[in-house]
């Protein structure tokens, strides 16, 4: 397997207060490629003391940012985007090496989205206008302004290790917050490279601090410590709920798990539905919170949709993620592969049928490669219907009426993104207004999203709090302050 010119990364460090530092515990761990199993570098294993140092540095960084105008912070974000642009091939290669996603079709696209995220924040923050409020008292003038929350604790996952951190770091910095960031351990090397770009763009010392290490240690410290004022997290529902308890009383921006139902009605464009649903199930090897993890199909078209998905799954080429012909790389880590194993086994014991795939691929460099899988006759009580799988699995179940489909789709504790395929405007509205998800995509994949669109869960479900995306993140990461003037002379 080629690493496209990347040398082994040695002696990577954390970034605290504008300096690259070692862990106070002096321990290091290996970054490994999920595609080859080889060590690609070593990283410091941070401690609670390191996290505390980063929080102290962020308090100083917050004071520096407070002296800057909105336009000053906008220019910083624009400079970061320029640096990323100049290093995008290096970032994409390391992203493929450490995360496992195909370089040509997915890694380069993620880097482009990361660049766009920094540019978006630079622009959106300049137009974050507030209001003048009419009041009863003729001697008063009331205005609102947006102020940074202070020091943000940010914890991010491994599936999009450049783009998801950018969803917090760019608007957080643009809004004037200082940040302490803990990335997932399995993709911390690429996090180091992202922070190198921030340093090159002359982000002020202490404004963004990188602490590497186990979530239960350094992540827990930053979300619970009284020195952080607010928390941003993307990850599983269970971890998000634990973070919410540990950060009790702090503002929370949580993007949590999904089990996105895709509903294919009997009047759908079946080719379009199959193509988009396959993308929803297999993009990034299914390691997407908005993946099409439950596919409910009207019985009249059920067999044809199943056949079309099987055909697409069989065409997906697994292999070296640096090869131009590779369409799917490995899963990132063993726990997600084991969960995929467990969900498929459970579905089969409850009556599901494997149409294609159903197991890990053989003959490749590691056992983290998973066959693109299509299951049919999935039952409602199966784990794959109840939980987020995060693997390349398309589980199908039939329904006979719109009401049955709606009831089944909403019978889940998760509610992030759903999709509906129909040619009927009235049926589309029926589901758009009744599906219990934060986003409903009509005639497109559950994975459709653009960086400025509000993204998040729905009340009563376990898919998070608040909204990511464009100005919506900026509003989440700022306080709305009301200022009342008495203008009597």
Q: What is the DSSP letter of 9?
A: B
Q: Angle formed by the axes of helices 302-315 and 270-282, to 10°? A: 50
Verify whether residue 255 is a known catalytic residue: yes
Active-site residue (options: 45, 98, 221, 255): 255
What does the alpha-carbon distance between residue 65 and residue 446 come to, in Å, rounded to a whole number? 38
The burial class, CB within 10 Å (0-12 / 13-18 / 19+), for 218 is: buried
What does the alpha-carbon distance between residue 45 and residue 14 come to, in Å, rounded to a whole number? 9
User: Three-class SS string for 318-382?
Assistant: ECCCCCCCCCECCCCCHHHHHHHHHHHHHHHHCCCEEEECCCECCCCCCCCCECCEEEECCCCCC
Q: Give CA separation, 86 vs 82, 146, 194, 451, in Å.
A: 6, 33, 12, 21
Element (H, E) at 439: strand 439-442
Verify whether residue 289 is a known catalytic residue: yes
- Name residues whose C-beta falls within 8 Å of residue 77's C-beta, 6 or more positions apart in sequence: 118, 119, 121, 122, 125, 170, 173, 174
What does the alpha-carbon distance between residue 410 and residue 267 come to, in Å, rounded to a whole number? 21
Q: Provide the 3-class DSSP secondary structure of residue 57.
A: helix
Count CA atoms closer than 13 A to 359's CA, side-chain side: 3
* Among the listed residues 271, 284, 280, 259, the one whose alpha carbon sits nearest the alpha carbon of residue 448: 280
DSSP, residue by residue, 138-156: TTEEEEEEEEE-SEEEEE-
Active-site residue (options: 110, 167, 289, 293): 289
The burial class, CB within 10 Å (0-12 / 13-18 / 19+), for 91 is: buried
Strands 261-264 and 417-421 turn out to be: parallel
Q: Give CA separation, 215 vs 168, 211, 225, 261, 429, in Å.
A: 17, 10, 14, 30, 41
Q: Provide the 3-class DSSP secondary structure of residue 295.
A: strand
- Name residues whose C-beta falls within 8 Å of residue 317's C-beta, 6 or more positions apart in sequence: 325, 326, 327, 328
The catalytic residue positions are: 255, 289
């Amino acid at each position: 397997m080629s690493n496209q010119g990347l040398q082994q990364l040695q002696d990577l460090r954390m970034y605290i207060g504008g300096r690259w530092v070692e862990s106070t515990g002096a321990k290091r761990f290996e970054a490994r490629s999920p595609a080859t199993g080889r060590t690609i570098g070593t990283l410091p294993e941070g401690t609670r003391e390191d996290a505390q140092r980063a929080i102290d540095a962020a308090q100083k960084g917050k004071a520096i940012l407070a002296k800057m105008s909105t336009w000053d912070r906008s220019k910083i974000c624009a400079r970061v985007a320029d640096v990323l642009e100049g290093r995008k091939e290096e970032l994409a290669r390391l992203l493929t090496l450490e995360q496992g996603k195909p370089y040509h079709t997915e890694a380069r696209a993620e880097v482009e989205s990361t660049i766009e995220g920094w540019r978006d924040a630079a622009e959106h923050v300049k137009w974050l206008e507030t209001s003048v409020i009419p009041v009863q008292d003729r001697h008063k003038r009331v205005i609102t302004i947006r102020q940074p929350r202070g020091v943000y604790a940010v914890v991010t996952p491994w599936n999009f290790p450049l783009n998801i951190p950018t969803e917090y770091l760019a608007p957080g910095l643009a809004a004037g917050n200082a940040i302490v960031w803990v990335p997932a351990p399995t993709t911390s090397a690429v996090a180091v490279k992202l922070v190198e770009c921030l340093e090159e763009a002359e982000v002020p010392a202490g404004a963004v601090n990188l602490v590497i290490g186990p979530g239960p240690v350094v992540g827990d410290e930053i979300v619970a410590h009284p020195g952080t004022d607010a928390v941003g997290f993307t990850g599983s529902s269970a971890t998000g709920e634990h973070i919410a308890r540990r950060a009790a009383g702090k503002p929370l921006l949580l993007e949590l798990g999904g089990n996105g139902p895709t509903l294919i009605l009997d009047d759908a464009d079946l080719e379009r539905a199959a193509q988009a649903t396959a993308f929803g199930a297999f993009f990034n090897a299914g390691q997407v919170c908005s993946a099409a993890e439950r596919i409910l199909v009207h019985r009249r078209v059920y067999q044809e949709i199943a056949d079309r998905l099987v055909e697409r799954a069989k065409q997906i080429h697994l292999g070296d993620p640096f090869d131009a012909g590779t369409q799917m790389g490995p899963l990132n880590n063993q726990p997600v592969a084991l969960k995929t194993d467990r969900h498929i086994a459970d579905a089969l014991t409850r009556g599901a049928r494997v149409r294609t795939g159903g197991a890990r691929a053989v003959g490749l460099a590691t056992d983290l490669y998973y066959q693109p899988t299509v299951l049919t006759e999935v039952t409602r009580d199966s784990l794959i219907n109840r939980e987020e799988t995060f693997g390349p699995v398309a589980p199908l179940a039939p329904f006979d009426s719109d009401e049955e489909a709606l009831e089944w789709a909403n019978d889940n504790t998760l509610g992030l993104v759903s999709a509906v395929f129909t040619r009927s405007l009235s049926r589309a509205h029926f589901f758009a207004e009744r599906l219990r998800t934060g986003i409903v995509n009509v005639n497109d994949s559950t994975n459709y999203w653009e960086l400025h669109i509000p993204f998040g869960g729905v009340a009563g479900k376990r898919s998070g709090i608040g909204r990511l995306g464009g100005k919506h993140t900026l509003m989440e990461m700022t306080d709305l302050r009301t200022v009342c003037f008495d203008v009597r002379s």
